[in-house]
Structure 1
Amino acid sequence: MLSAGALLTLDLDAVRANYRLLRQRAGAATCGAVLKADAYGLGAAAVAPALRREGCDTFFVAHLAEGTALRGILGPGVTIIVMHGLFPGTEAEALRHDLVPVVNSTEQLRDWAAFARAQGRPLPAWLQIDTGMARFGFSEGELEAAIAEARDLGSLALRCVMSHLACADTPAHPANARQLAEFHRLRRKLPPLPTSLAASSGIFLGPDWHGDTVRPGVALYGVAPTEGQPNPLRPVLRLDAKVVQLREVAAGTPVGYGHTAVTARPSRLATVAVGYADGFLRSASGRGVVRFRGLDLPILGRVSMDSLVVDATVLPPGAMRAGDTVALIGEGNDLDRVGRAAGTIGYEILTSLGHRYHRRTLGG
């Protein structure tokens, strides 16, 4: 019997199916997998081996600590790339765990190259250039300075040059073509190297953006890659929560903290055992819905720390009882819809899901 207030179900077969679709869309490019933030909150210990069984051998994380943890899960034989690069003094740890840093700045290049010289051999790295996002990577001036100085770049075994797209989820946005042109212009200043530009949404822009390696992240977990278009990816998770209590109230009854909602009619209210402490965002207050037997039940009033209230008046008397479960995320209410209702995106919903849920894993 489930003792937690909610059940989060992860479908690893769906993750694998999404990877196969993305690999197919990537064509001749290598299809890696981004497992940062503990596989976007779903658990790298479950997701990584499933993707490995599907044939993925190139993985991306954000931080060094994520890379060392992933190496412990997957063992040798796969490439793990640390996209944020290394902080000073952590170079030996990266080498010990056979991690490949992305060199994003002059300082990171200097430190990793000096460490390589101390080891007496070139060490692997990816090099990131900034093509118009002003976030990570070498500017044109910094790149030219590094090329002119030559020693540090020459101390490394550069495996790939990469950048990142700012507007790939909006295919018609002119920034996509501008960044592609800028990427090719800047990379030609370097010796010939494999390239990587496309993450999840970029894969769907087409082959011109693919390069040699694509880096799908949130698409693996079912979030739609393109705004306003049908989602070709399978949902990978479902979040069901228990009904704690039902009550019948009169019209004009204030509900929840701040009395931000007042019933407009005699109503049947259900208190559900999930709140913002579970990662279900407070911004969904008065905007989101849960699903029960194919029906939308609107969230009424504020989402509390440990609970929320839904309007179940549409249900016949006795159709819902304490102990029943409602779907906060699932069929008819996917991550993208939940994100829109909370004024955000599916990424934030996915990575915010907390640790109080009972977790169940299917397939894989």
Structure 2
Amino acid sequence: MTGEQAEAVVDLAAIAGNVERIAGATSAAVMAVVKADGFGHGAVPVARAALSGGATWLGVTSATEALELRTAGLTAPVLSWLHSPATDFAALLAADVDVSVAAPELLDAVAAAARATGRTARVHLKIDTGMSRHGATADGWPELVAWSRKYEREGVLRVRGVWSHLATADSSPYGVTAQTAAFTEAVAYARDAGLDPELLHLANSAAVFTAPRTHFDLVRAGIAVYGVEPVPGRAIGLRPALTLRTQVIMVKRVPAGTGVSYQHTHVTSRPTTLALIPLGFADGIPRGVDGRAQVLLGGRRLPIIGRVAMDQCVVDAGDLDVHLGDPVTVLGPGDDGEPTAADWAAWAATNPHEILTGIGTRVPRRHEGKGTVASDAGARGALPLLHHGRKRR
């Protein structure tokens, strides 16, 4: 560990290896989703590692995230998919970023940016097939398609893709079947109207391994890239890439009946040793996990007790011989018995995504291991920018 009191160590070889496993499970091209700063792992180094592992696309949700990748020198195809009419589409087009559109008003804004920049926008139309979140409704799809075709004829944009997002790929094959049917119907309508999208994409991490009929031309892998198994109860062989480490900064022996932290939600039942660690809810330790969550200290899992504070929390070390500076592993791959992100998700009644993305920015990230490359061309070589579609076998 560095001189910092805590650090998140990211294994880039694990990222690359996870992407290789994902790519091996499909004949489609692979998009590595690196939104939310690479799920808290660091978007740029993760993107490079993912490309070296066989991904040919990168996915983000915002213009800021997309432009960060371009500023770092990454030239692989990027899709950005959550926008408002105020989005600077001109900057995205100038940076060769594909944009997702789900409403005619946004399509108008993209077309205006294309005219202003003299660039032809590459657009992926999104259809809502059952998530009831982002995406055009079935009733709104004909209008979106019609305006897209109009702008294609004008020459200001090209509909490069049609896509949607699955709601239950990790739990219900019936929902996947219904959404796939709705997606296929929407694609057929778009083609009948004169559009010719080269990329169809529907599958998320779970569907990569459970629903091959959803793979089409491109799969979008998110949580699986980071080594979290996307299907509950099914081990695919992914490796968690992030380890959160800290150290003991205070040790005290207390008698039975000692209240711990705010509101004394925990009172010791016996004489015990308390070990203080400098991570709290501002650093990603969920506030309400006292009495359930554990960390690895002295080769043993020990419980966090008392209310988690903004900057610190207390570990009940019992009669363990603990000293200032002793290393503590908060989460990791589980190799040494430390909790995993999945364990923390269970304790906090959430998902591993929230645990990983919740690790605060004041915890420095340290990237180690092979998997990063000098450019996004990757160890396997990159395809030309405008031709990343179905992976060649």
Secondary structure of 1:98's match? coil
Is 1:227 the equivalent of 2:227? no
In structure 2, C-alpha distance between the alignment counterparts of 1:185 and 1:253, rounded to whole Å: 64
Secondary structure of 1:151's match? helix
In structure 1, C-alpha distance between the alignment counterparts of 2:244 and 2:145, rounded to whole Å: 51
Counterpart for residue 94 of structure 2: 96
Q: Which has the higher contact order (CA 8 A, sep 6+)?
A: 2
Out of 351, 359, 383, the residue aligned to residue 353 of structure 1 is: 359
- Letter paired with 2:303: P
Counterpart for residue 341 of structure 1: 347
Number of equivalent positions: 358
Shift of 1:354: 1.3
| Cα 1:264–1:183 shift into 2, 3 Å | same
- Letter paired with 1:178: A
- Letter paired with 1:13: A
Counterpart for residue 40 of structure 2: 41
Secondary structure of 2:210's match? coil
Shift of 1:94: 1.2
Counterpart for residue 303 of structure 1: 308
| Cα 1:345–1:121 shift into 2, 3 Å | closer
In structure 2, C-alpha distance between the alignment counterparts of 1:89 and 1:308, rounded to whole Å: 40
Counterpart for residue 7 of structure 1: 7
Secondary structure of 1:185's match? helix
Counterpart for residue 141 of structure 1: 139
Correspondences of 1:18-167 after superposition (within 5 Å): 18-25=18-25, 27-76=26-75, 78-85=76-83, 87-88=85-86, 90-117=88-115, 122-148=120-146, 150-152=149-151, 154=153, 155=155, 156-167=157-168
Shift of 1:118: 5.5
Correspondences of 1:230-269 after superposition (within 5 Å): 230=235, 232-269=237-274
In structure 2, C-alpha distance between the alignment counterparts of 1:67 and 1:148, rounded to whole Å: 28
Correspondences of 1:157-306 after superposition (within 5 Å): 157-170=158-171, 172-191=172-191, 192-193=196-197, 194-230=199-235, 232-306=237-311
| Cα 1:73–1:119 shift into 2, 3 Å | closer
In structure 2, C-alpha distance between the alignment counterparts of 1:75 and 1:347, rounded to whole Å: 24
- Letter paired with 1:139: T
| Cα 1:146–1:255 shift into 2, 3 Å | closer
Deviates more, 1:144-153 or 1:228-237: 144-153
Q: For structure 2, list consecutive stretches of 5 or more residues without a partner in the other structure.
A: 372-393
- Per-residue Cα deviation, 1:301-336 (whole angstroms, up to 9, x for no partner): 111111111111153xx3x21110111102231111
- Letter paired with 1:7: E
Shift of 1:100: 0.8
In structure 2, C-alpha distance between the alignment counterparts of 1:243 and 1:293, rounded to whole Å: 11
In structure 1, C-alpha distance between the alignment counterparts of 2:53 and 2:200, rounded to whole Å: 23
Is 1:327 the equivalent of 2:329? yes
Shift of 1:12: 0.3
In structure 1, C-alpha distance between the alignment counterparts of 2:285 and 2:121, rounded to whole Å: 43
Q: For structure 1, list consecutive stretches of 5 or more residues without a partner in the other structure.
A: none
| Cα 1:41–1:121 shift into 2, 3 Å | closer
In structure 2, C-alpha distance between the alignment counterparts of 1:122 and 1:93, rounded to whole Å: 13
Name the TM-score, length of structure 1 as normaliser. Answer: 0.92
Name the TM-score, length of structure 2 as normaliser. Answer: 0.86
- Per-residue Cα deviation, 1:32-90 (whole angstroms, up to 9, x for no partner): 111111111111232122223334331111001111111112343x1111111453461
Given that 1:260 and 1:301 are in contact with CA atoms closer than 8 Å, whether structure 2 keeps it comes out as yes
In structure 1, C-alpha distance between the alignment counterparts of 2:87 and 2:6, rounded to whole Å: 42
In structure 1, C-alpha distance between the alignment counterparts of 2:224 and 2:21, rounded to whole Å: 10
- Per-residue Cα deviation, 1:199-233 (whole angstroms, up to 9, x for no partner): 11121223101111011112111122012223521
Shift of 1:269: 1.4
In structure 1, C-alpha distance between the alignment counterparts of 2:258 and 2:117, rounded to whole Å: 72
- Per-residue Cα deviation, 1:241-279 (whole angstroms, up to 9, x for no partner): 111122222222111111000112221211111111212
In structure 2, C-alpha distance between the alignment counterparts of 1:262 and 1:179, rounded to whole Å: 51
Shift of 1:152: 3.2
| Cα 1:352–1:275 shift into 2, 3 Å | same
Secondary structure of 1:305's match? coil
Shift of 1:357: 2.3
- Per-residue Cα deviation, 1:148-167 (whole angstroms, up to 9, x for no partner): 45413544211111000112
Q: CA RMSD in A?
A: 1.9
- Letter paired with 1:101: V
Given that 1:34 and 1:60 are in contact with CA atoms closer than 8 Å, whether structure 2 keeps it comes out as yes
In structure 1, C-alpha distance between the alignment counterparts of 2:305 and 2:46, rounded to whole Å: 35
Secondary structure of 2:139's match? helix
| Cα 1:231–1:253 shift into 2, 3 Å | farther
